[in-house]
Structure 1
Amino acid sequence: MIFGWFLLLTSAISWALTGFLRQYALAQNLIDIPNERSSHSIPTPRGGGVAIVISLLTALPILNGLDLLATNVLIALWGAGFAVAVTGFLDDHGHIAARWRLLVHFGAAVWGLYWLGGFPALTVFGYLIELGWLGYVLAVIYIVWLLNLYNFMDGIDGLASIEAVTVCAGGALMIWLVRPDLTAWMLPALLATSVFGFLLWNFPPARIFMGDAGSGFLGITLALLSIQAAWLTPQLIWVWLILLGVFIVDATITLCRRVYRGEKFYKAHCSHAYQFASRILGTHRSVTLAVCAINIFWLLPVASLVALEKLDGMAGMAVSYLPLFLLAYHYKAGDRQAQDR
């Protein structure tokens, strides 16, 4: 009951901070002006994701002080998240070259992975597989990719916020289902409520955007939460990958197609499936709500089967991703024609 009030307070603080940051952005002229690559048409303040960062990073030491969060997890999330958020904040206010951003991203990934104890063993069709040093390399690449894809997918009103809220709520539920003896479910629940306070300002039509500070912070935090969950029980890594399926599939297909054509993948574009869908439907709200529905009514049930070991993790990932691949193909993810429209 006390933790419930703590979640409510965190959400309220995030909501209030977002309102303050909106006024700050307007005063400092931190405005996203629409251009030919934008998915929005109205100049809108940016940088509201800092409210998520402050809310969560303030709450984490309190959880640790109450013995509800291990110190190594606190250090992992605080150090990695803070570094990425500061870099994103500076980039929101000016420009940081991509190579320096990537250097910080890889450093933050290594930091977080080190304090979490590395990458745990995977369960594949009933077998427990230790990847050794290869697991560390793959985990760092996975963390950096999820961090950046979250930034890529933060392109229409409410999408990145809805994704974080539903994925974290689902992740918390899955942890509680398989390990009700632990308090680890509280961490993703706390992140969900931090984002929810911001979502009240960001839901279509958005009154403020998240910005690189918020999207990068969410990306690396979600990646580290998925690895931390895998340490609790191995099948949970597959659960988180399934829950994150919409973002992973759209961003990965789009990236691969752009790289194949020799395009500079790190430059701004509007060729993601969700962007093309929003242009077809003429509204951000329908796409954002559709992603919410997919997460709740498709990905969460499959993730539940994997969490309860009724379905193998890799098989569950394949089953859950198949319709997402078809949707991405239907909405021309990474297609040059979609980008040029």
Structure 2
Amino acid sequence: MGLIIALFFILCIAGYFITRALISYAHKKQLLDVANHRSSHTQATPRIGGLSFVVLISLLVFTYALLNNKISTNILLFILLPIVLVALTGLVDDLKGLSQAARFIIYFFCSVVALGNLQSFFSQASWLIVLEGLLLSLSLSWLINLFNFMDGIDGIAASESIFVLAALAFFSYQGGEINLSYFLLLCTAPVIGFLALNWQPAKIFMGDIGSTFLGCLIGCLCLYAINTKLISICSVIILLGCFIVDASWTLAYRILSGQKWYLAHRSHHYQILSRKLGSHQKVSLRYSLVNLVWLLPLALTAFHYKEYALLITTISLLPLIWRCFIIGAGKSEQN
């Protein structure tokens, strides 16, 4: 246990100082996110900060694979490969830009590869399994994009990922997978180091490389935990409820109201709330409070009382949906 604690602090410190180095490098190379009328920030800010935790977490995944001989190939193929490909795609997008079509193709391919984490789930081939695989691949692709959409104010995407990874660690611990729980907690450490410099006022953003990487990482790890029966699909949906509801409601409203949904905007629930409160910090803290006080207990309840899982999931998400409706998420700022 002492070694795990020491590694945790080392990774936090490493994440912090690598991020500081990236701030200097980004300013020198002018790799800045310039504020515009669609932004929730006002100053030009470095945008490649996610590279710090991408490198450290990728090394952690590789090390965890080496230490688990029986499942090392699965971890390398179905977790490390997708997250690295997604991160490289994000880096290219941050530096040069990629088309939406190119990003979707890569994300969908990585999502299909990640389904290898559900080997027991796909034990029998049938048309129904193919349909379920397609839906899961599209869902994981959406999760990757979702983290990118929700990375619009200081600290929100990093704090969400820390919560979900820590929650997965707790589910793993109660399921008897102690080493996996330690690994998941270690994965939060580099993100915590980054968050220290991404908290309001942010000195650096994680960029597409960081947000899409976190979405893919969490998706892959959730599939892995579902496969080993450490968590249920309903519990995963509940844990990610704040992000899923905010992004999904906003996108659906923009599509149904005839807006150009593919263009940048500031109509997510969290963006509107940050303008009303005049603070990114207050919004990120509110989302974290909802996660800890509301969603985590309900996710645990849904896992232990599987016969009521759908009902509990509905109960957990309804207040989040109501908040999006009340605040007008998705509506054009001109309305």
Aligned equivalents of 2:309, 2:290: Cα separation in 1: 19
Alignment of 1:179-258 (within 5 A): 179-233=175-229, 235-258=231-254
Q: Does 1:176 align with 2:193?
A: no
Task: Assess if the C-alpha contact under 8 Å between 2:117 and 2:223 holds in 1.
Answer: no
SS of the residue corresponding to residue 183 of structure 1 reads: helix
Moved more, 151-160 or 98-107: 98-107
Task: Assess if the C-alpha contact under 8 Å between 2:16 and 2:196 holds in 1.
Answer: yes
Of 162, 166, 173, 2:163 maps to: 166
| CA-CA distance at 1:7 after TM superposition | 2.4
Moved more, 99-108 or 150-159: 99-108
Report the equivalent of 1:125: none
Q: Does 1:299 align with 2:295?
A: yes
Report the equivalent of 2:145: 148
| CA-CA distance at 1:191 after TM superposition | 2.4
Aligned equivalents of 1:181, 1:115: Cα separation in 2: 16
Aligned equivalents of 1:22, 1:69: Cα separation in 2: 40
Uncovered stretches (5+) of structure 2, i.e. residues with no partner: none
Report the equivalent of 2:82: 80
Moved more, 213-222 or 11-20: 11-20
Q: Aligned in 2, Cα 1:330/1:311: closer, same or farther, shift over 3 Å?
A: farther
> What RMSD over aligned residues (CA atoms) do the two structures have, in Å?
2.0
Q: Aligned in 2, Cα 1:47/1:238: closer, same or farther, shift over 3 Å?
A: same
Report the equivalent of 2:107: 105
| CA-CA distance at 1:12 after TM superposition | 2.0
Task: Assess if the C-alpha contact under 8 Å between 1:75 and 1:115 holds in 2.
Answer: no
SS of the residue corresponding to residue 152 of structure 2 reads: coil
Q: Does 1:284 align with 2:280?
A: yes
Aligned equivalents of 1:31, 1:199: Cα separation in 2: 18
Aligned equivalents of 2:164, 2:122: Cα separation in 1: 21
| CA-CA distance at 1:10 after TM superposition | 2.1
Aligned equivalents of 1:80, 1:60: Cα separation in 2: 12
TM-score w.r.t. structure 1 length? 0.91
**Aligned residue type for 1:156:** I
Task: Assess if the C-alpha contact under 8 Å between 2:117 and 2:227 holds in 1.
Answer: no
Task: Assess if the C-alpha contact under 8 Å between 1:77 and 1:112 holds in 2.
Answer: yes
Report the equivalent of 1:63: 64
Aligned equivalents of 1:286, 1:8: Cα separation in 2: 26
Q: Aligned in 2, Cα 1:203/1:81: closer, same or farther, shift over 3 Å?
A: same
**Aligned residue type for 2:218:** L
Report the equivalent of 2:29: 28
Aligned equivalents of 1:2, 1:109: Cα separation in 2: 34
Q: Does 1:262 align with 2:261?
A: no
Aligned equivalents of 1:118, 1:106: Cα separation in 2: 21
Of 304, 312, 321, 1:308 maps to: 304
Uncovered stretches (5+) of structure 1, i.e. residues with no partner: 122-129
Moved more, 225-234 or 294-303: 225-234
| CA-CA distance at 1:115 after TM superposition | 5.2
Moved more, 291-300 or 186-195: 186-195
Q: Aligned in 2, Cα 1:69/1:37: closer, same or farther, shift over 3 Å?
A: farther
Aligned equivalents of 2:70, 2:191: Cα separation in 1: 19
| CA-CA distance at 1:181 after TM superposition | 4.4
| CA-CA distance at 1:298 after TM superposition | 0.6
Task: Assess if the C-alpha contact under 8 Å between 2:26 and 2:32 holds in 1.
Answer: yes
Moved more, 154-163 or 236-245: 236-245
Aligned equivalents of 2:282, 2:69: Cα separation in 1: 38
Report the equivalent of 1:340: 334
Aligned equivalents of 1:219, 1:137: Cα separation in 2: 18
Task: Assess if the C-alpha contact under 8 Å between 1:60 and 1:69 holds in 2.
Answer: no
Report the equivalent of 1:89: 91
Task: Assess if the C-alpha contact under 8 Å between 1:119 and 1:139 holds in 2.
Answer: no
Q: Identity over aligned residues, as a percent?
A: 35
Task: Assess if the C-alpha contact under 8 Å between 2:48 and 2:94 holds in 1.
Answer: yes
SS of the residue corresponding to residue 39 of structure 1 reads: coil
Aligned equivalents of 2:213, 2:245: Cα separation in 1: 20
Aligned equivalents of 2:16, 2:118: Cα separation in 1: 30
* Per-residue deviation, residues 5-50 of structure 1 (Å, max 9, x unmatched): 2222222221121111111111111111111100111221111011
Aligned equivalents of 1:69, 1:256: Cα separation in 2: 43
* Aligned residue pairs, count: 330
SS of the residue corresponding to residue 264 of structure 2 reads: coil
SS of the residue corresponding to residue 185 of structure 1 reads: helix
* Per-residue deviation, residues 31-84 of structure 1 (Å, max 9, x unmatched): 111111001112211110111110101111222222289320232221111111
Report the equivalent of 2:136: 139
